[in-house]
Amino acid sequence: MNASDLKASNLEQALCFFNPTKPLSDVGLRLWYVPRSRSPRGRMRTLLEKETEAQRILFVGHRGSGKSTELNKLAEELEPSFHTIEMNLIDITGRTTPEYDDLMLAMSTRVTRYCIEKKLIRRPLGEALGERWQDLLDWWQQLAGSAQLPTVATEENLSVKLNTILGQLELGVKQSSQTRDRVKLRLNQQMPELIERLNWVIEQAESGGRPLLIIVEGLDKVDLESANNIFRDHSPTITTPRAAMVFTFPLALRHSDHFNTIRLSFPEVFYLPNICPRKVDASEDQDGLAALRRLVLARIEERLIMPEALELILRNNGGVPVWLVALIRGAILYALERGGDRIAIGDAENAVRDLLRETLPPLSREDHRVLRARHQDRLLSNDSMEQRLLYNGSLIEYANAVPWCDAHPVLWPLLEDGEHGRQE
C-alpha cells in the first residue's frame, strides 16, 4: 500500500478500509493509527524503557476498545529497544480455561522458538555452550516424553532440532487433551527446571544488548476463575521469567474483591479507556468527539460522508472504536444500496437503527432497569449485574473524570421512553 491509498476515495474502497474483524497491524497500523490522548501506551513505553528492572504490566480495556491495536503500536514503537514476542494464550492452547502451567508452557515454548528463529541465542559451538544446548534439548524431549509426538528426524543443528520439538509439543498439547494432561503432569513436577531453562534462554537472548518483552494476549477473555487462578494464585510463578511482560487482563476482575491481592504482584496496571464523546454531566466532550472524527477521517476522504451523517455516527458509537467502525460500514452499505456516492444522514440513521435492533446483545427487563438507572445517575460500581452489562457492551465505562458509566447511546431512546421504553 502506498501513500495514495491512505484514504478511501470512494465508498467501495471505504467498505474495505473499515474492517471490524481485525485490529490494526502492519500497513494498517502505519497508515491509519490515530493516537488517543488518554491511552496509557506512552506511560507503558516509558516504564518499559526507563526502568532497569523487567516490568510486569497488566493491560485492561473493554471489548472493542482497541487494546490489540494499542499493543501492536506499542510493539512497533519499542522495536528499536526491545525484542517483542507477541502471543495469544487462547490461540496457542485452544482453551478458555487455561491454568498457570498452560501459560508457563506456552511462554517457554514461544520465547524459546522466537529466540531460535531470530538467532538471538549463541550457536552451540563452544563446549560449555554446547552442553547447555544439549541439556535444553534433552530436557524438552523428556518433557514431551511418551506424548505421541512424531519422531524427530536426525538433524545436526541442535537449535533446529529443538525448535522442531517445541513446535510439535505445542501442537500436540493443543490438539490432544491426553497429551496435554501427560505433559502437564510432568511439568508440574519440574516447574523450577522449566523456569531455569527459560531464564537461560532469556539471558542468552538479551546478551546481545536488547531486552525481551513478552506480550501475552487473550487473558482478558478467559474464564474468570481461570484468570484468578493465574493472576491471584500463581503470580509468583508467572512473574519469575526475567523478561518484561505485558498481560491483557479481564475487565471484570478489576472490580472484583481479588484485585487488591493481584495488585501486590502486579503493581503496574494500565487501563485503556474508551474514547469519551460526552462528559459525566452529559455535555459534549469536544476532545473525545474530535478523536473519533480523526479515527474516521484517517481512512476516508471527508467528502464521502456528509457532516450531519458523521456527527450522528460520532454520537452513537459510545466511544468504542469497534462500534464506530461497524456503524461506518453499515452506513456505507446503505449508501451503496441506494446508488449514492457518499454517506447521507438516512444511511447513518439506518446503521444506528440496525446496531440497536440486530447487533447489541438482548436485554432483559432487569437489564433495562439497571441501564435506565445508570443512564440517569452515571454511577459506576462493582455490582455484578453492572459488570455483566459492561461485559456485553450495553453499559460503557468512561474515564474523562472520576470513572463513570452510561448506557450505550443507541439505547437511550429505549431507556428514556417511559417506564419500559419499549422499542418500536
Residues that bind another protein (CB under 8 A): 12, 15-16, 19-22, 63-64, 88, 90-91, 94-96, 221, 322, 326, 329-330, 333-334, 336-337, 339, 354, 357-365, 367-368, 391-393, 414, 420-424
Q: Which residue has the cell 491509519?
A: 32
Cα(385)–Cα(179) distance, integer angstroms: 39
Cβ 72 to another protein shortest distance, Å: 12
* Bridge pairing between strands 404-407 and 268-272: unpaired
* Residue (of 267, 178, 114) closest to 106 by Cα position: 114
Nearer to another protein, 48 or 60 (CB): 60
User: Residue 411 corresponds to which cell in the numbers above?
Assistant: 439505547
Cα(71)–Cα(247) distance, integer angstroms: 10
Are the CB atoms for 160 and 168 separated by under 8 Å? no
Cβ 322 to another protein shortest distance, Å: 5
User: Residue 309 corresponds to which cell in the numbers above?
Assistant: 451523517
Nearer to another protein, 120 or 325 (CB): 325
* Residue (of 79, 90, 131, 139) closest to 112 by Cα position: 139
Cβ 138 to another protein shortest distance, Å: 33
Nearer to another protein, 21 or 52 (CB): 21
Cβ 241 to another protein shortest distance, Å: 23
Nearer to another protein, 238 or 414 (CB): 414
Nearer to another protein, 202 or 275 (CB): 275
Residues 6+ apart with CB under 8 A from 383: none
Cα(330)–Cα(357) distance, integer angstroms: 13
H-run or E-run covering 194: helix 191-206
Q: Which residue has the cell 527446571?
A: 193
Cβ 34 to another protein shortest distance, Å: 20
Cβ 80 to another protein shortest distance, Å: 27
Nearer to another protein, 63 or 258 (CB): 63
Nearer to another protein, 102 or 206 (CB): 102
Cβ neighbours, 10 Å, residue 159: 21
Cβ 324 to another protein shortest distance, Å: 12
User: Residue 225 corresponds to which cell in the numbers above?
Assistant: 476463575
Nearer to another protein, 221 or 293 (CB): 221
Cβ 150 to another protein shortest distance, Å: 19
Nearer to another protein, 244 or 355 (CB): 355
SS (H, E, C) 89-150: HHHHHCCCCCCHHHHHHHHHHHHHHHHHHCCCCCCCCCHHHHHHHHHHHHHHHHHHCCCCCC
* Strand partners for 406: 396
Cβ 75 to another protein shortest distance, Å: 16
Q: Which residues of 27-61 are buried (b: 16+ CB within 10 A; e: fewer)?
A: ebeebbbbebebbbbeebbeebeeeeebbbbbbbb
